[in-house]
Amino acid sequence: MDKVYQAENALELRDAMKRFKKKRNEYSTALKSVSITVKRGEVVGILGPNGSGKSTLVRVISTLIIPDGGDVRVFDIDAVRHPKEVQRHINRVSVEASFFKKMSSMENLIYGAKLYGVTDRESKPKIREILGSIGFDLNRVNEPMEHLSRGMQQKIALARALLTSPMLMLLDEPTTGLDPRSKKDVQALIRGIRHTHDASILLCTHDMDEAEELCDRIGIMLDGDIIALDTPHALKQRYQQDGQAPNLEEVFMAATGASMEDIEAKKLEEEEKKAGVK
């Protein structure tokens, strides 16, 4: 375990590649050659339109899928060679939090902690403390998860990640589809986590404001490639025009040649066209 505590980086990805077979001799490349590092305690955002490869990237890191090439290391552990060990140090929170919906949040959290080798006796007080600190109504910890709003479920998903450390949190669009209020709450929670825990975070989003507010560095992802990766400040300097600092939306347009909305609309159109041809 020493190795984990000594590791300088939470995540190191070098030339990660992944392609999916579509038909015979036809492939779609979801990750071209992605290199990215998340230092311990750092929050790195991946900003990209639908279909750019964000979830594939997260699934490769969480060992759910095996890359076709490249190097993936989590706290200096090779994710391809030692997936079980890597799984102990990552926590993935995706759009739909995965829970036993008939069980309560307390039961789900105890179960989650157990998967990481934390006993009930240790986890129970810690769970209460964490839920209290994120403003979760403790009277509701024994209610079935399915009675809770999606925003509350996302909070529980994040709380689950705090029961073990050190931890690399992989947040895959954690606020997509939430109402504005829950979205703000979940964002505040993510901001809080980095101040109170030794957590390192990879945050995938297509929300510009979310990326800018929460991330130390932002990678812009397009068609399976990270085409720019830097602090928001440095990105703005690089893409400034006429001495004017652009906002992140303008940075995105300068880097990719189009707005997020246009890219997504075009992709949808292409998919519809393809579906029509068949």
Per CB under 6 A, residues contacting ligand ADP are 20, 28, 30, 48, 50-56
Give the relative orientation of helices 105-115 and 150-161 as an angle to the nearest 10 degrees. Answer: 30
**Least CB distance to Mg ion at residue 11 (A):** 18
Using the minimum distance from each CB to ligand ADP, give the nearer residue, 53 or 246.
53
SS3 call for 134: coil
Using the minimum distance from each CB to ligand ADP, give the nearer residue, 52 or 154.
52
Binding site partner of 52, from Mg ion, ligand ADP, none, Cβ cut-off 5-8 A by kind: ligand ADP
Using the minimum distance from each CB to Mg ion, give the nearer residue, 42 or 172.
172
83 to each of 35, 102, 129, 158, 165, how far by Cα in Å? 19, 29, 30, 22, 17
Sheet architecture: strand order including 69-74: 26-39, 9-23, 69-74, 77-78
Q: How many residues bind Mg ion (CB under 5 A)?
A: 2
Using the minimum distance from each CB to ligand ADP, give the nearer residue, 130 or 203.
203
**Least CB distance to ligand ADP at residue 229 (A):** 16
**Least CB distance to ligand ADP at residue 225 (A):** 11
**Least CB distance to ligand ADP at residue 56 (A):** 3
| Count of CA atoms in the C-beta half-sphere (13 A) of 91 | 25
CB atoms within 10 A of CB 260: 19
Using the minimum distance from each CB to ligand ADP, give the nearer residue, 10 or 46.
46
Binding site partner of 256, from Mg ion, ligand ADP, none, Cβ cut-off 5-8 A by kind: none
**Least CB distance to ligand ADP at residue 90 (A):** 17
Cis peptide before 180 (omega within 30 of 0): no
Residue nearest to Mg ion (CB): 55
Using the minimum distance from each CB to ligand ADP, give the nearer residue, 52 or 164.
52
Binding site partner of 48, from Mg ion, ligand ADP, none, Cβ cut-off 5-8 A by kind: ligand ADP
138 to each of 129, 144, 167, 245, how far by Cα in Å? 10, 13, 25, 45
- Is the Cα torsion angle 45, 59, 84, 71 positive or negative in sign? negative
**Least CB distance to ligand ADP at residue 173 (A):** 8
Using the minimum distance from each CB to ligand ADP, give the nearer residue, 4 or 65.
65
SS3 call for 86: helix
Per-position x/- string for 26-55, each x denoting binding to Mg ion as judged by CB under 5 A, each - no binding: ----------------------------xx
Per-position x/- string for 55-94, each x denoting binding to Mg ion as judged by CB under 5 A, each - no binding: x---------------------------------------
- Is the Cα torsion angle 130, 133, 136, 138 positive or negative in sign? positive
d(CA 62, CA 168): 10
Residues 183-195: b if buried by 16+ CB within 10 A, e if exposed: bebbbebbeebbe
262 to each of 54, 176, 257, 265, how far by Cα in Å? 18, 18, 10, 5
Binding-site ranges for Mg ion (CB under 5 A): 54-55
